[in-house]
Amino acid sequence: MYEAIKNFNKQLSYQPEIENQENLIKKSGLVIVGMGGSNLAPGLLQIWKPNLNITIWRDYGLPDWTPEKLKDKLIVLSSYSGNTEETIDAFKTARERNLPMAVISTGGKLLSLAIENSVPYIKLPDTGIQPRSALGLSVKAFLKLMGEEGELEKINELAESLKPKDYEKDGKMLAEKVKNHIPVIYASKCNSSLAYGWKIKFNETGKIPAFYNVFPELNHNEMNGFDVKNANKALCNKFYFIFLKDKEDDPRILKRMEVLEKLYEQRGLRIEKLELGEGNVWRKIFSSLVLADWTAYYTALEYGLESEQVSMVEEFKKLIL
């Protein structure tokens, strides 16, 4: 895992190629099907361009829409391993309905199905890393399918300028603070996918419970659960709150964050304020996730746990066969 984080920037020089491109049908929007780390990238695309016409589907089959609505979308099936049960099921559903499709994968059954059915696909390089660690590859593959050559070039430039090691020290320090607590990551709705990415990395790499929520919705419910009283103080003190702050957020959201920070501090709750980078949106996204990677990696070390494998996921898969 250490090497995967340290070398993350190398993913940003990846040049994806579309096979069976002559069969790629452009549509007004995308339905992106995938599970776990294979479906984190679409949320990052929404940070880059919030008005993107995409639906993220994390389930068997496809959305229960009219045939006309589904046929107006490109169904993109993303499975890093190529063997994700739900995604393969969605492929078969889309094929039965004769819907336009594209596939992103390193191999497995899904890629075989794409080749067998002449479906456009991008074969990701299989470098042996976990799906949650391959977000640079995944983002670039999606942008290639969308024809966003300009954005691909912007990401290429980060291959040299983004230095993952620069974030290691801060990640290690944050892991030391978080130890023996349950992280809760807060962000604006616009940056919800970053908060979700942090949560996932704490779960899969750090091997600890973690949760996330977004402003302004959390101001209408969740925060009331942390109105510390003598009766619930021991429970509330088990949490550690990480605020992802973005100067480009709506000023009203930034004010809500500042007020909640003060309320939590007054109640003795532990908080961390992390400012997201400015300028290039892809730098903002990837630098935050690299910091999350380091924090989760050192969190696992703090507990003496292995950081890369997801043994419980593999155990679960065997039990449902």
Quick one: which of 59, 122, 115, 70 has its CA closest to 96?
70
CA 205 to chain CA centroid, Å, is 13
Residues 254-281 have pLDDT tens digits of 999 999 999 999 999 999 999 998 778 9
Position 38 scores a pLDDT of 85
Average pLDDT rounded to a whole number, residues 116-139: 94
- Which is it for strands 54-57 and 29-33: parallel, antiparallel or unpaired? parallel
Number of helices (H) and strands (E) in the chain: give both, helices first. 13, 9
Q: Average pLDDT, whole number, for the chain?
A: 96
Among 180, 257, 265, which residue's Cα sits nearest to residue 226?
265
- The rounded percent of the chain whose pLDDT value lies above 70 is 100
What pLDDT sits at residue 133? Answer: 92
User: Of 284, 318, 308, which Cα lies nearest the Cα of 127?
Assistant: 308
Question: What is the distance between the alpha carbons of residues 32 and 91, in angstroms, rounded to a whole number?
Answer: 11
Burial of 110 (0-12, 13-18, 19+ CB in 10 A): buried
pLDDT digits (tens, 9 = 90+) for 6-32: 999 999 999 999 999 999 999 989 999
Backbone Cα Rg of the chain: 20
In this structure, the dihedral spanned by the alpha carbons of residues 303, 206, 285 and 223, taken in order and rounded to 10 degrees, is -90
Give, as one character, the DSSP assignment of residue 40.
Answer: S
Q: What's the pLDDT score for residue 252? A: 98
The predicted pLDDT at position 71 comes to: 92
Burial class (CB in 10 A: 0-12, 13-18, 19+), 312: exposed
The total number of residues written for the chain in this structure: 321
Which percentage of the chain shows pLDDT scores above 90? 95
One fold for 2-161 and 164-302? yes
Return the pLDDT at 250.
97
Domain 2-161 bears CATH identifier 3.30.365.10? no
pLDDT given at position 279: 77
pLDDT at position 28, please?
Answer: 85
| C-alpha of 63 from chain center | 21
Least reliable range by pLDDT among 35-39, 220-224, 287-291: 35-39
Task: Supply the DSSP symbol for 98.
Answer: T
Average pLDDT over residues 166-183: 98
Q: pLDDT-derived band of residue 186, with 50, 70 and 90 as boundaries?
A: very high
**pLDDT at position 278:** 77
Q: Does domain 164-302 have CATH number 3.40.50.10490?
A: yes
Query: What is the structure's pLDDT at 37?
Result: 86
Cβ neighbour number for residue 216 with a 10 Å cutoff: 13
3-state secondary structure of 164: helix
Residue 33, strand partner residues: 57, 77
Segment 146-155 mean pLDDT: 95
Domain boundaries, the chain: 2-161, 164-302
